[in-house]
Amino acid sequence: MVHPTHDETEYILETQNLDIFYGDFKAVAHVNMKIQRKKITAIIGPSGCGKSTLLRAFNRMNELVPGSAIKGRILFQGQNLYAPDVDPVEVRHRIGMVFQKPNPFPKSIYDNIAWGARVHGYKGNMDELVEYSLRQAALWDEVKDKLGQSGLALSGGQQQRLCIARALAVQPEVILMDEPASALDPIATLKIEELMQELKQHYTIVIVTHNMQQAARASDYTAMMMLTDDDTRSGTVIEFDETTKIFTRPGDRRTEDYVTGRFG
């Protein structure tokens, strides 16, 4: 199996003056950030500051919410993701997503992996793809003898890795993770974090997390989001830097207050 060929330029995603709206409400304002290829970028910040909204804009998931719209641009490999000729399904194929709550299909482990690939027109050897994806998600050894069992019969941590395997099966370049470990116990959480370190050899990961220790442990870059001080109550990125810097000597007082637990 070959890995998807990556354009080796440094930044895979870039937002330019990005605003995100739900109807009249500007949920996220003026975000300019560049996401590095094959690195893990964490988005942190208090509840309701637009972290998930920003994450979902990266693969046009917000469009599924009626009334949502963006201003500004998001470039993926230099190409405008929201250009009229871009197919959102193709976007979600190349930029996959893993959610907070593991959501395997009520089907066999095998079919959980195979289904997406089939939909995307995969013509290769399906057994190989299933094994490869499960191996990449560090789940193969635990499930290889029960591929016909329901995905729902797995533990929470295994289900989440199954969802990661499912996302990998369509060979994306970016994986967006929205609080992927918040419903898991500490051991399952660490397994996901270890897995992320493996995956970044081939993929770019953007993760939203409420768990600051997780951001500190697992990510290379951290973006701190916060509501703006004005009346709009929009969220924006107030600081974006190397994770080590954000957690040892942040530049913005508000980041300092947040990471030391004094915000609020």
Partner 1 sequence: MLRKTFENELQQVKDDILVLGSMVEQAVLASVEALKKRDPQASQKVIETDRKVNEKRFEIENQVMVLIATQQPMAHDLRLLASILDVASEIERMGDYAKGIAIINIRMGDQPLLKPLIDIPRMAEKGTDMLHRALTAFVNEDADTARTIPREDDEIDMLYNQVYRELVTYIMSDPKNIERANWLLWAAHNLERLGDRVTNICERTIFIATGEIQEIDSTWDELGEGKA
Q: Give the SS3 label for residue 42.
A: strand
Sign of CA dihedral 212, 185, 165, 58: negative
Closest distance to partner 1 from the beta carbon of 109 (Å): 36
Binding residues for partner 1, per CB under 8 A?
Answer: 212-213, 216, 247-250, 255-256, 259-264
Closest distance to partner 1 from the beta carbon of 168 (Å): 31
d(CA 126, CA 241): 41
Sign of CA dihedral 252, 58, 11, 221: positive
Amino acid at 72: G
> Whose Cβ is closer to partner 1: residue 107's or residue 254's?
254
> Whose Cβ is closer to partner 1: residue 80's or residue 248's?
248
Look at residues 12, 11, 20 and name the one whose alpha carbon lies nearest to residue 236.
20
Question: What DSSP line would sit under 74-86, residue for residue?
Answer: EEETTEETT-TT-
> Whose Cβ is closer to partner 1: residue 63's or residue 257's?
257
Length of the chain: 264
Using a 10 angstrom Cβ sphere, with 0-12 exposed, 13-18 middle and 19 or more buried, the burial of residue 42 is: buried
Strands (E), the chain: 11-22, 25-31, 34-36, 40-44, 68-76, 79-80, 95-98, 174-178, 204-208, 221-227, 235-242
Closest distance to partner 1 from the beta carbon of 255 (Å): 8
> Whose Cβ is closer to partner 1: residue 46's or residue 156's?
46
> Whose Cβ is closer to partner 1: residue 58's or residue 247's?
247
> Whose Cβ is closer to partner 1: residue 164's or residue 207's?
207
> Whose Cβ is closer to partner 1: residue 142's or residue 256's?
256
Closest distance to partner 1 from the beta carbon of 248 (Å): 6
d(CA 164, CA 173): 13
Q: Count Cβ atoms below 10 Å from residue 16 Cβ, excluding itself.
A: 13
